[in-house]
Amino acid sequence: MNADPLRLARRIGHEFTREELLLQALTHRSAASANNERLEFLGDALIGFVIAEALWKRFPEADEGTLSRMRASLVKRETLAALARGLDLGDYLHLGAGELRTGGYARDSILADAFEALWGAVYLDAGFTSARELVLRLFATRLAQTSATHAGKDPKTQLQEWLQAQRRPLPEYAVVATGGDQHAQTFVVSCTLSDADLGTRAEGGTRRGAEQAAAHAMLEQLKNA
């Protein structure tokens, strides 16, 4: 584990009473038998419910199918891994030697699982209300950007539709860098617009994931311009 886990706790806004829960949440099964798999189970359920409740309140006219699609887009592996990267979660993970060699600290699946385990640990340490408030704070921007109209549409599709509505050319994507072992590669992808001096870059465990993240960043630039 490279970084002090208490620094991560401060980043998410929670002071652990039981620090062993935090350490367990950051321990992959490749490193120890006391790992984060059971906490991941709790965190997965917790995040799913908190986001479902938030969407239910935010979109009173949305039907079950629409709410399900919105929830799925917010709690899918790529989204959780992106949020984990925003916390530099990979810097705090305790991995076995094999996973370290293959760049497991940057793999979407490991990051997403540890992210879920982290919230399972917060729940056990402080209860549902505290965990719910912190999850909502972390997801606040993404929840605010979610719309029933775009339910289930990925960022690349949303960006394309936004540009088409403005009668603008479609974006161009390019892989600008790759890293990691062959079995755990990371991709850096750029997204550019030919009619404007705008460009974004994003990293992902797959080329598609990086493209989606770059498209999301571009969409944010355009909306906030």
Report the share of the chain in percent with pLDDT over 90: 56
Q: What angle do CA 11, 13, 14 make, to 5 degrees?
A: 115
Number of folded domains in the chain?
Answer: 2
- Of 116, 145, 174, at which residue does a domain stop? 145
* Residue 203 known to bind ligand: no
Q: What angle do CA 19, 22, 25 make, to 5 degrees?
A: 150
Q: Is the pLDDT of residue 44 over 90?
A: yes
**103 and 176 share one domain:** no
**181 and 75 share one domain:** no
Indicate the pLDDT class of residue 113, thresholds 50, 70 and 90.
Answer: very high
* Residue 125 known to bind ligand: no
Q: Is 188 helix (H, G, I), strand (E, B) or coil?
A: strand
Residue 181 annotated to the active site:
no
Q: Count Cβ atoms below 10 Å from residue 174 Cβ, excluding itself.
A: 12
> Which residue spans within the chain are E strands per DSSP?
172-179, 186-192, 199-204
Domain that holds residue 160: 155-224
**93 and 195 share one domain:** no
Q: Are 134 and 51 in contact (CB under 8 A)?
A: no
**140 and 210 share one domain:** no
Indicate the pLDDT class of residue 142, thresholds 50, 70 and 90.
Answer: confident
Q: What is the pLDDT of residues 182-225, one digit of tens each?
A: 666 889 999 999 888 889 999 888 888 899 889 988 988 887 76
User: Nearest-CA neighbor of 213 among 78, 105, 51?
Assistant: 78
Q: Is 121 helix (H, G, I), strand (E, B) or coil?
A: helix
Average pLDDT on 85-92 reads: 92
Q: Is 75 helix (H, G, I), strand (E, B) or coil?
A: helix
In a domain, 125, yes or no: yes
**170 and 199 share one domain:** yes
**27 and 120 share one domain:** yes
List the catalytic residue out of 44, 78, 108, 211. Answer: 44
Global pTM reads: 0.70
List the catalytic residue out of 78, 108, 116, 125. Answer: 116
Average pLDDT on 82-105 reads: 89
Which pair of tokens denotes residue 47? Answer: 């995040």
Could you tell me the CATH number of the domain that includes residue 27?
A: 1.10.1520.10
Identity of residue 136: L
Residue 172 annotated to the active site:
no
Q: Is 217 helix (H, G, I), strand (E, B) or coil?
A: helix
Please tell me the least confidently modeled range out of 38-42, 167-171, 206-210.
206-210
**34 and 97 share one domain:** yes
User: Nearest-CA neighbor of 138 among 119, 155, 114, 113?
Assistant: 119
* Residue 113 known to bind ligand: yes
**186 and 96 share one domain:** no
**134 and 162 share one domain:** no
In a domain, 150, yes or no: no
The more confidently predicted of residues 48 and 106 is 48
